[in-house]
């Protein structure tokens, strides 16, 4: 079990925290948000939930970042959402400033903690947080896409979801790629089954938008999946998950997802075990990531100087 700090108590932050707590991964939690009273009221809700389960867990909702202290892992979902008319680069700059600020404040009171980034653009925010804080940071990356891919194929083939294995990698979002060499159905290569690969890729890219359009945000899927990343760390489950861990690229630390062992130690990545095509896809992702990231960093630095 782990002491977990949650930075951000919006819808997704609340769902991740709830799901992690009721699944037994957490023995102490501090939930921080900037909105007055929000974390404190959320704490009440959690306490009511714990009562019916007999859950014994120290939990604190707070508006003071100083209360986030002595944690093993800190999950960052704080950040602004993209508004209409706003470019991705503008979103990067706005949220990067939040990350730099958090990165200045959190490490002193949380020696040895690792950081799990959830705020968007998630992989770049992980890289920014790590660049400025010098703390070991991972991104939830494509583990959500991974589960969406498995879920879609299982429903199509009318199989239990546990029958479908495999991973999605690359940068989280539009550019994520299904790592087809890893996809197995009942232990068999995907090509033995009638799977329309384009349809799968299409689903993985479009379903979050569809959910957001109708419900206003994705919560239960990412909430549960990211809670399981926390659980794999906290209970040392050694689960292979498609998260983004830091890697050097042209002397810059970048975050791009590949199947990676998640336990109380993070890694290794299974990238070298992929087939050539999938490795090529990952390399292309890194290059793309790096270029956009460098460009965004420049913009950020200009803004900060100003």
Binding-site entries? 8-13, 33, 82, 88, 95, 118-120, 148
Grouping H, G, I as helix, E, B as strand and the rest as coil, residue 83 is: coil
State in angstroms the smallest separation of the CB of 301 from a second copy.
31
Grouping H, G, I as helix, E, B as strand and the rest as coil, residue 296 is: helix
Q: Please, which residue, 164 or 200, has the CB nearer to a second copy?
A: 164
Give the whole-angstrom CA distance, residue 168 versus residue 259.
8
Closest CA to 151 of 224, 209, 184, 200: 200
Q: Which alpha helices (H) appear in the chain, and where do they start and end?
A: 11-22, 38-53, 88-109, 122-133, 143-157, 197-215, 220-234, 276-305
* Interacting span for a second copy (CB under 8 A) from 12-20, 78-86, 123-131, 287-295: 12-20
State in angstroms the smallest separation of the CB of 181 from a second copy.
10
Q: Please, which residue, 220 or 280, has the CB nearer to a second copy?
A: 220
Return phi, psi of residue 304, to 5°. Answer: -70, -35
Binding region for substrate = 82, 88, 120, 148
Of the listed 44, 48, 172, 255, which one is catalytic? 172
**Site membership for a second copy, residue 234 (CB under 8 A):** yes
Is the CB of residue 192 less than 8 Å from the CB of residue 110?
A: no
**Site membership for a second copy, residue 53 (CB under 8 A):** yes
Selected binder of a second copy within 70, 81, 111, 112 (CB under 8 A): 112
State in angstroms the smallest separation of the CB of 18 from a second copy.
6
Residues from 194 through 233 that contact a second copy (CB under 8 A): 207, 210-211, 214-215, 218-225, 228
Give the whole-angstrom CA distance, residue 209 versus residue 72.
33
Q: How many CB atoms lie within 10 A of CB 35?
A: 11
Q: How many CB atoms lie within 10 A of CB 189?
A: 12
Give the whole-angstrom CA distance, residue 181 versus residue 6.
35
Residues from 119 through 148 that contact a second copy (CB under 8 A): 136, 143-144, 147-148
- List Cα–Cα distances, 7 to 10, 50, 186, 200, in angstroms: 9, 21, 39, 33
Selected binder of a second copy within 1, 34, 86, 304 (CB under 8 A): 1
Active site residue 255: no
Closest CA to 187 of 165, 156, 215: 165
Selected binder of a second copy within 117, 126, 164, 178 (CB under 8 A): 164
Selected binder of a second copy within 18, 32, 180, 289 (CB under 8 A): 18
**Site membership for a second copy, residue 116 (CB under 8 A):** no
Residues from 236 through 275 that contact a second copy (CB under 8 A): 236-241, 261, 263-266, 268, 270, 272-273
**Site membership for a second copy, residue 280 (CB under 8 A):** no
State in angstroms the smallest separation of the CB of 257 from a second copy.
14
Structure-block tokens of residue 14: 């609340």
Query: With contacts defined by CB under 8 A, how many residues of the chain interact with a second copy?
Result: 78
Q: Please, which residue, 18 or 129, has the CB nearer to a second copy?
A: 18
Place of tokens 């799977």: 195
- Active site (catalytic) residues: 172
């Amino acid at each position: 079990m782990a002491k977990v700090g949650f930075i951000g108590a919006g819808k997704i932050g609340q769902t991740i925290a709830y799901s992690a707590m009721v699944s037994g991964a957490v023995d102490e939690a501090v939930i921080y948000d900037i909105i007055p009273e929000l974390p404190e009221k959320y704490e009440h809700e959690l306490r009511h939930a714990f009562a019916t389960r007999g859950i014994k867990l120290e939990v604190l909702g707070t508006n003071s970042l100083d209360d986030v202290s002595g944690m093993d892992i800190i999950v960052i979902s704080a950040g602004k959402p993209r508004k209409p008319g706003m470019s991705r680069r503008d979103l990067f700059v706005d949220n990067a400033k939040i990350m730099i600020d958090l990165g200045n404040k959190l490490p002193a009171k949380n020696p040895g903690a690792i950081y799990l980034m959830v705020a968007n653009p998630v992989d770049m925010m992980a890289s920014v947080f790590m660049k400025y804080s010098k703390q070991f940071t991972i991104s939830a990356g494509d583990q959500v896409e991974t589960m969406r891919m498995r879920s879609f194929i299982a429903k199509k083939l009318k199989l239990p979801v546990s029958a479908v294995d495999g991973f999605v990698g690359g940068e989280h979002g539009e550019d994520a790629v299904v790592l087809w060499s890893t996809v197995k159905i009942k232990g068999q290569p995907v090509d033995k089954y009638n799977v329309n690969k384009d349809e799968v890729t299409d689903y993985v890219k479009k379903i979050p938008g569809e959910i957001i359009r109708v419900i206003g945000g994705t919560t239960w899927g990412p909430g549960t999946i990211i809670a399981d990343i926390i659980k794999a760390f906290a209970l040392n489950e050694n689960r292979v998950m498609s998260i983004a861990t830091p890697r050097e690229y042209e002397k810059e630390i970048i975050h791009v997802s590949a199947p990676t062992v998640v336990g109380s130690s993070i890694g290794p990545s299974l990238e070298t075990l992929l087939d050539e095509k999938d490795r090529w896809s990952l390399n292309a992702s890194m290059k793309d990531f790096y270029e956009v990231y460098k460009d965004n960093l420049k913009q950020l630095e200009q803004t900060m100087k100003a």
